[in-house]
Amino acid sequence: MKKFISFVLVAMLCIIPLAACGNSAPPAGSGDATQPTETGGSGAEAPIVLKIAHDSSEQVPVAIGLAEFKRLVEEKSNGQMIIEVYNNGTLGSASDYVVNCQLGTLDMGTVNQSVVSSFIPDLPAVDIPYIIESYEHADKVFMGEVGQHYSQEVRDIIGIEVIGIWEVGFRNLTNSKKAVNSVEDVAGLRIRTMDNPVHQAFWKGLGADPVPMSWNEAYTAMQQKAIDGQENPFSVILGNKVAEVNNHLAVTEHVYSSQFIIMSDKAWSSLNEEQQKIIKDSCYEAGLVEREEQRRQANEAVAQLEEQGMSVTYPDKQGFIDASADFRQQYSEQYADIVKMIEAAK
């Protein structure tokens, strides 16, 4: 028995070195020992796909900025991040984007400041008529301390990331009923507004009938004469063919509008630091392109809208400022701290 056990032990000691020697190198002619994975042979992970929603047409500056954002992200990440842009409200309204980003069912969305105001208590301060006086002033406000303040509030209150703040521009009034040559001509007009209490209070104070409505419903409502008109920056009026349903444009420039580019915490947190930096840097660079395009379109829009049949008037802005003085004072006192920051940026 002892002889049998000794024989087995000797046999095992001989087999083990042979087995080890057999695995020490690949067979001749087999090449590198590192084999490709099943991800197409390169070993690279599948790209991250992020969807971003926008509620207006492909021609408006924000959509053009989103195309540049897509290009930059994909270029900077060497194709490891893919941006899918959905324009024309195909993924819902701007209000939907906020909620869906909160829920994590949408990666990113573009949301007007007035929509975000429904969630951020002191954001309506930037919607006070005529508080933003110029493009230069707007840049200092939204690309400076005020923009940083609101980005932090959106994170703290809504729980989503602001990756950039872009430009929509100064808003102007259109309608299908009459020419607006003075503030008195606004009385009686049924005007589509965003669901924003400051905007609604402003128009109501001027004698108009403000109707809160999502933008993707506004064109049909104007076409069917359910409302008389709307108020938006030149680029939005031009890009969404408002001239087909409204033939009067009044250059009022009553409110400057910005566009918040938001991202769900779920999508943001799934990225590493390098990827997050690519997203933020690309959004900033695309935002500069978007601002330039918005201002170019604004400069050219009046002539184009006149060619499309719109009559353009230039009512005295001071009349609108005087008529809304009490209203503006009330909101300025309500948001005193933010108003001071805005005025300091002049």
Q: What is the mean pLDDT of residues 300-318?
A: 96
pLDDT band at 3 (very low <50, low <70, confident <90, very high): very low
> Could you report the per-residue pLDDT of 97-150, keeping only the tens digit for each?
999 999 999 999 999 998 999 899 999 999 999 999 999 999 999 999 999 999
In order of their start, the domains of the chain are 48-344 (3.40.190.170)
> Could you report the per-residue pLDDT of 71-91, keeping only the tens digit for each?
999 999 999 999 999 999 999
Q: What is the full DSSP assignment across 271-314? A: S-HHHHHHHHHHHHHHHHHHHHHHHHHHHHHHHHHHHTT-EEE-
Residue pair 236/170 in contact by the 8 Å Cβ criterion: no
Token pair 């209000």 in the structure block, residue: 95
Token pair 């609101």 in the structure block, residue: 150
